[in-house]
Chain A
Amino acid sequence: MKEVMVRPERCMGCRSCEIACAVEHSESKSLFAAVGESPSPRKRIYIEYIPEHAASVPVTCRHCEDAPCTTVCPTGALSREEISRKVVHSPELCIGCWTCSMVCNYGVIGRQKEARVAVKCDLCPGREVPACVEACPTNALVYAEVKDFSGIKRAEAALKLARGMKPGSAL
């Protein structure tokens, strides 16, 4: 399955992903209409700022294979979809106990204030590319299979090594 992969070195902290996420999960799916909606649409991706590194890092659900949230959820509101392998959430089953939030290693299970239920990334059903990835102006977010993403990383690492082999090479 494709995952939202993060290249934190490219993140400028513009929060475009957060807004796009909230708009995608609004009633109207339009920015100009979504700002007036009640309840306010909720984002499911978070830009975390690390002051000591002056770095912004997008953090979102990793859709873990052995997801602790699905294991601890007492009502089965959080579960894994068999075919897509996505970790999905059914708000109608959610009792708002926040056990999932306690065990999530990434802190990406948020709270829908008005309905008092959990909200998390659903990888934008019906979209080819999740809204956050599409909105990212610097491609800090990439929607790719892990093997492809790792392939790119390997190529980058190999390039660095190759440069080391031939000093001064303009490769």
Chain B
Amino acid sequence: MKPKAYERSIDPATRAMLLKAEKEGIETAWDRYEKQLPQCSFGQLGVCCRNCNMGPCRIDPFGEGADKGVCGATADIIVARNLLRMIAAGAAAHSDHARDAVLTFKKMSGGEAGSYGIKDEAKLFSLAAEYGISAEDRSKEEITAELASALLAEFGKQEGPIQYTRRAPETRLRLWAELGIEPRGIDREIVECMHRTHMGVDNDATHILLHGLRTSLSDGWGGSMIATEVQDVLFGTPEPRKATVNLGVLSEDKVNVIIHGHEPILSEMIVEAAEDPTLLKLAKEKGAKGINVAGICCTGNETLMRHGTPIAGTFLQQELAVITGAVEAMVVDVQCVMPALGSLTGCYHTKFISTSPKADFPGTNRIEFHEEKAYETAKEIVRTAVENFPNRSPEKVSIPDEKQECMVGFSAEAILKALGGTPTPLIDAIAGGSVKGIGAVVGCNNVKVQHNYGHVNLVKELIKNNVLVVTTGCNAIACAEAGLLVPEAASMAGEGLKGVCEALGIPPVLHMGSCVDISRILVLASAIAKALGVDISDLPAAGAAPEWMSEKAVSIGAYVVSSGVYTVLGTVPPVLGSAAVADLLTRGLDGVVGASFAVEPDPFKAASLMLARIEEKRKALGLKA
């Protein structure tokens, strides 16, 4: 019988560390998942309501027991309300991240965050221009301050529009306005989700879900887009560069500092502090050959995109990094950080350092991070890691060999630059049929799917069929680990796509960044649609989240579909307890926003669904099959 590690992941480095965990009696997310089985059916179907204390109520999915909650809410209402709350949480996570980025930007402009500066001046001016902030006779500082205030105002806006929604094609904007789903303000939509789902407020499934679309748009074209843009101004707009990924990037003889979470505000400073001469000297004194910073999840993607900082792994590899026994500090900020890291780091010498004023975990060394003293705090964090190096037990250390080279840094700007400044060459390739279309593959890991199996197989299938793939988040890291983010991976692509990649010297799978950077995909899609004079929903494009798990992914799925892109989910969302809601999401939305969801756990079948949709769109545009 094959060891469990083989069933749990397709990645050799992950398997090796799972075997080590088993040998050492260490529990991981996969073990905890097994203990959860079988999972609650009511929860899986979304028919449990805990929104008031007359409950909890739930609906019998087989029609023998209760068909309504105490208040009279049916399965349709309960499922829709629960889904709306998931969207609200996801949009809140992205947008609150954005708020912190803007606050840092504002503090920087007021001279209160001296560790930060402006790295992309051109973007600063272009963003300011979008807000109608005149650059004439004004200092950079004045423009920065005014832009910061304008961006910050997006969160508390009451009547809209959120400025960056104006980047969408005219037809899309009109559609949103007609449907009444144009977002009015980032915080307002999220607050309204909580109001609507309170006992006795919004009790019509369609009405509830339309607000879900509006809220998600305030994320995609609001919070997430603002986060991306401000981070580009502060830290630089990514450009193509080489880097390495997977657990093998951890060093045998250097101090290993993992940065895990989502915000570059912290990780940028850690990367800088790791090059501080005094800390490097201290590392030498402690017997280390240097300081090695490696990322996990999207804070890793942020520094990977801008500095080529290596990435140690995807979401499900966070525990495995600690299990190598070679990590001096696991430094975390917010989102997708497992509380299990507390007891796990206790089994090794690893310091678990929490930094966000918003997020603490069991068993942490708390070093709270504030922009005013960013660099000093980052140095303190790195120092803590360096001083921990002598505590590493060589007999517990086993670092997998696997590390894979990748080419990253494909911001929308970088892609346009690679194409020679306009989307025309890509459009020509699509029109000519050498590239069939664009696949946006994103999302998390989920223990319900063999680690990276969904990601890698879906993407391979798409490129084989001449679909250019753009990727972010954990899908991007999974693809990097599988060697799909190198120009040589063009050999795995169909003839047409292969030719285009070879001509441009790019991989067939383009890493566009972190999960908030899915906004870059929206910007790119919008640019292509505008160049063609069509709506986003007319493009031969499709999206997928093969291993999604978080509420953020629900918000992403909703804004991608609301923006007009058909999206295939690899794990089943908790909506099947309502046939009406499931039907609306998988069929009805096509007639509303020109795109819908599909659910398909098999990555090969999911690819077929995407290809079929792309062919359908090609046909409608009059392009050859």
> B-contacting residues of A (Cβ < 8 Å)?
14-16, 18-20, 22-23, 31-32, 34-36, 40-43, 134-135, 137
- Collect the chain A residues with CB atoms within 8 Å of residue B579's CB: 35-36
A–B Cβ pairs within 8 angstroms, 13 of them: A14-B40, A15-B58, A16-B41, A22-B62, A32-B572, A34-B61, A34-B62, A35-B45, A35-B61, A36-B576, A36-B579, A41-B62, A134-B38
- Collect the chain A residues with CB atoms within 8 Å of residue B62's CB: 19, 22, 34-35, 40-43
- For the complex formed, measure the closest distance between the CB of A73 and the CB atoms of chain B, giving whole angstroms: 24
- For the complex formed, measure the closest distance between the CB of A131 and the CB atoms of chain B, giving whole angstroms: 9
- For the complex formed, measure the closest distance between the CB of B583 and the CB atoms of chain A, giving whole angstroms: 10
Kindly name the residue among B40, B62, B579 whose own CB sees the greatest number of chain A CB atoms within 10 A.
B62
Q: A19–B41 contact, CB under 8 A? A: yes
- Collect the chain B residues with CB atoms within 8 Å of residue A35's CB: 45, 61-62, 576-577, 579
Q: A16–B40 contact, CB under 8 A? A: yes
- Collect the chain A residues with CB atoms within 8 Å of residue B395's CB: none
Interface contacts beyond A16-B40, A32-B576, A36-B579: sample of 16 additional A-B pairs, CB < 8 Å, sorted by A: A15-B60, A16-B38, A19-B62, A31-B44, A31-B576, A32-B572, A35-B62, A35-B576, A35-B577, A35-B579, A36-B576, A40-B62, A40-B63, A40-B64, A42-B64, A43-B64
- For the complex formed, measure the closest distance between the CB of B253 and the CB atoms of chain A, giving whole angstroms: 47
B176 contacts partner chain A, Cβ-Cβ < 8 Å = no
Q: Complex: how many Å from CA A19 to CA B61?
A: 8
Q: Tell me if A's interface is mostly helix, strand, loop or mixed.
A: helix
- For the complex formed, measure the closest distance between the CB of B56 and the CB atoms of chain A, giving whole angstroms: 10
B42 contacts partner chain A, Cβ-Cβ < 8 Å = yes
- For the complex formed, measure the closest distance between the CB of B434 and the CB atoms of chain A, giving whole angstroms: 39
Chain B residue at minimum C-beta to C-beta distance from A41: B62
- A interface footprint on B57-69 (CB within 8 Å = 1, 0 otherwise): 0101111110000
Q: A31–B40 contact, CB under 8 A? A: no
Q: Complex: how many Å from CA A36 to CA B44?
A: 14
Q: Complex: how many Å from CA A40 to CA B579?
A: 14
Contact size class for B?
10 to 19
B41-93: which residues lie under 8 A (CB-CB) from chain A? Answer: 41-42, 44-45, 58, 60-65
Q: Complex: how many Å from CA A35 to CA B333?
A: 40
Q: Complex: how many Å from CA A19 to CA B576?
A: 14
- Collect the chain A residues with CB atoms within 8 Å of residue B61's CB: 19, 34-35
Chain A residue at minimum C-beta to C-beta distance from B579: A36
Chain A residue at minimum C-beta to C-beta distance from B599: A32
- Collect the chain B residues with CB atoms within 8 Å of residue A19's CB: 41-42, 61-62
- For the complex formed, measure the closest distance between the CB of B449 and the CB atoms of chain A, giving whole angstroms: 15
- Collect the chain B residues with CB atoms within 8 Å of residue A134's CB: 38
- For the complex formed, measure the closest distance between the CB of B310 and the CB atoms of chain A, giving whole angstroms: 39
Q: Complex: how many Å from CA A23 to CA B63?
A: 13
Q: Complex: how many Å from CA A43 to CA B65?
A: 11
Q: Complex: how many Å from CA A16 to CA B43?
A: 10
B404-425: which residues lie under 8 A (CB-CB) from chain A? Answer: none
Q: Complex: how many Å from CA A41 to CA B41?
A: 14
Contacts A40-B62, A40-B63, A42-B62 known; A135 to B576 CB distance under 8 Å? no
- For the complex formed, measure the closest distance between the CB of B432 and the CB atoms of chain A, giving whole angstroms: 41
Closest 5 pairs between A and B when the two form their complex, measured CB to CB: A19-B41, A40-B62, A35-B61, A22-B62, A32-B576
B154-181: which residues lie under 8 A (CB-CB) from chain A? Answer: none
Q: Complex: how many Å from CA A169 to CA B70?
A: 47
Q: B41–A20 contact, CB under 8 A? A: yes
Q: Complex: how many Å from CA A56 to CA B187?
A: 43
Chain B residue at minimum C-beta to C-beta distance from A131: B38
Q: A23–B41 contact, CB under 8 A? A: yes
- Collect the chain B residues with CB atoms within 8 Å of residue A34's CB: 61-62
Chain B residue at minimum C-beta to C-beta distance from A23: B41
Q: Complex: how many Å from CA A32 to CA B64?
A: 17
B225-264: which residues lie under 8 A (CB-CB) from chain A? Answer: none
- Collect the chain B residues with CB atoms within 8 Å of residue A137's CB: 40
Q: Complex: how many Å from CA A18 to CA B61?
A: 11
Q: Complex: how many Å from CA A135 to CA B40?
A: 8
Q: Complex: how many Å from CA A93 to CA B579?
A: 35
- Collect the chain A residues with CB atoms within 8 Å of residue B63's CB: 40
Contacts A16-B38, A36-B579 known; A31 to B64 CB distance under 8 Å? no
B561-579: which residues lie under 8 A (CB-CB) from chain A? Answer: 572, 576-577, 579
Q: Complex: how many Å from CA A23 to CA B58?
A: 17
- Collect the chain B residues with CB atoms within 8 Å of residue A43's CB: 62, 64
Q: Complex: how many Å from CA A167 to CA B45?
A: 50
Q: Complex: how many Å from CA A41 to CA B63?
A: 9
